[in-house]
Amino acid sequence: MSNDDKKEPGYVLGTETDGTDSFDTITALVAADHQHDIKLRTMSWQKTACLLAGEQVCLAIMAQSWSLSVLGWVPGIITMVLCGILFWITSITMHKYIMKHPHIMDICDFGYHVFGQSKTAYVFSSFMMLANNILLIGFHVLTGAKVLNTLSDHSLCTAVFSIIVTIMGIIMSMPRTLQHVSFMSMFSSACMGIAILLFLIFAGIEKAPLYGYSGNYPTEGPVKTYAFPLPGTTWVACMNAVMNITFIWVPQILFPTFISEMERPQDFPKALAVLAGISAILFIVPSVIGFHFLGQYSTAPAFGSLGVVSYKKASFGFVIVPTLIIGVIYANVTAKFIYTRILGKSRHSHSHTVLGWSVWGIIMIGIWVLGFVFAEIIPSMGDFLSLLSAAFDSFFGFIYFAIAYWQLNRGSLFSGLGRTALTVLNIFILAVGLFLLGPGLYAAVEAIIADYAGSVTPAFTCANMAI
């Protein structure tokens, strides 16, 4: 890594302190940032909490009832609770590590540090972050097209709807600071909350669901719930259901970037506590109620199982807002990484210049266009979410933070009962990450192969993709 990769005046990747002067360093970084025209380090912990909630309160919540329908009550709830606990532990470990290395700007810097300031780890992390984020932007383009298809009764070609969503995403992504995006996130969370509430009301008042993956009601008999997977449930289906749950609990790939734009990054645990409380409620309660009313007819997203078309449109329509804004969050983080590689040292990165804004706009257009292409060529985004969970979340949700724990506590891993228990827990976290990377990735690939073996939706299709 050359000296050209400076992230702040006077900082060169690889010349970090050991953390003894972290707070002085943070103060200096914030002071330097506030001298610029475009100030990045401005978010309070409250605004960070809004940003976290905006990124986490998403459509994936409505896929959790399907996961319960595959796994049953016992394995499903255990997986959800365990993921929540591991999410908190790994996020706190990540924050502690960043406080020792406050110059970290993104998950790529984080990977560089935890693997011993390895340039290879930095390049690997960069590739993985870009692939993960652009694929997720593609997922949100496809979701937006599904929403518009559903609301309009397929009044236009699906590819046209995707283009509309892409253009809207580009326009909304133009603000360069996350503080601006955090205002959007409050609106995003509110709209997703309304969508979830309407779904729960409609699922409760309708007589029966309309549709399940095995056919229309009552093809599979009366609605029922069960403690364990039904006979005939495959291992691949169970693994995909587990990874579907894991996916929603692993947002840490964005956290280093969020922390780097806080005025007081030491306050991040406060924002994290707000997110953990919201997630514990919204990830579990709607899923449980949805599975109760839909049973074996649960689909992903659960809106698709509603029997009354007007109910489906009324609830699913609100999803267009979080779909766009979450895409904006991922686009902002991705664009900042690319932008820093191009103009990181120059005045254009923190001033209102024609070149600076032109480069930002070109990068943002390129990111959304790539997302659009992925949205059009991928046959099943559900299976690709499992692939993302296995290939990327294994590293960015588990492995990286188990290694960070080891780096933070080398020499005292077993000094006392409490520290020993945490060490054993982090060994388990590492094992979970490796399991997702091995058997989990195999299951995701098997599901994608099965998709391609069947009827594959043609690329850039006009076919109706309404739920």
Across 128-150, average pLDDT: 92
The CB-side HSE value for 51 (13 A sphere, CA atoms) comes to 29
Tell me what pLDDT residue 5 has.
40
Name the least confident of 5-14, 163-172, 181-190, 335-344: 5-14
In angstroms, the CA 64 to CA 148 distance is 23
The per-residue pLDDT for 17 is 41
Q: Is 174 in a helix, a strand, or coil? A: coil
Report the pLDDT averaged over residues 116-137: 93
**Is residue 160's pLDDT more than 80?**
yes
Does the predicted TM-score (pTM) go above 0.95? no
**Res. 203: pLDDT tops 60:** yes
Which pLDDT band, with edges at 50, 70 and 90, does 77 fall under?
very high
pLDDT at 102 exceeding the cut of 70: yes
- Taking all residues of the chain, what is their mean pLDDT, rounded to a whole number? 88
**335 with 344: CB under 8 angstroms?**
no
The answer, yes or no, to whether residue 278 has pLDDT greater than 90, is yes
Model confidence band, residue 21 (pLDDT cutoffs 50, 70, 90): low
For residue 83, count CB atoms less than 10 angstroms from its CB and return exposed for 0-12, middle for 13-18, buried for 19 or more. buried
Predicted confidence at residue 331, as pLDDT, reads 95
- Read off the pLDDT band of 20 (50, 70, 90): very low
Among 52-56, 208-212, 452-456, the range scoring the smallest mean pLDDT is 452-456
Reported as type and span, the H/E element at residue 352 is none
Tell me which architecture the domain covering 50-453 has in CATH: Up-down Bundle (1.20)
> Whose CA is closest to 56, among 326, 274, 324?
326
The per-residue pLDDT for range 127-136, each reduced to its tens digit, is 999 999 998 9
More reliable by pLDDT, 454 or 174: 174
Provide mean pLDDT across the span 387-409.
91
Instruction: Kindly list the domain boundaries of the chain, sorted by start residue.
Output: 50-453
What pLDDT digit, counting tens, does each position of 352-364 carry?
789 889 999 999 9
- 427 burial via Cβ count (<10 Å: 0-12, 13-18, 19+): middle
**pLDDT at site 382:** 64
Q: How far is CA 43 from CA 106, 178, 198, in A?
A: 16, 8, 32
The whole-number pLDDT of residue 386 equals: 75
Phi, psi of 212, deg, nearest 5: -140, 170
Q: What are the backbone dihedrals phi and psi of residue 216, each rounded to the nearest 5 degrees, phi first? A: -75, 150
Write down how long the chain is.
467
pLDDT attached to residue 59: 87
Render the burial of 157-185: b for 16+ CB within 10 Å, e for the rest: bbbebbbebbebbbebbeebbbbebbebb
Of 240-249, 376-385, 415-424, the one with minimum mean pLDDT is 376-385
Residue 10 has pLDDT above 60, yes or no: no
Q: Is the pLDDT of residue 383 over 80?
A: no
Torsion sign over Cα 76, 78, 79, 84: positive
In 331-461, at which residue ranges do the beta strands (DSSP E only) sit? none
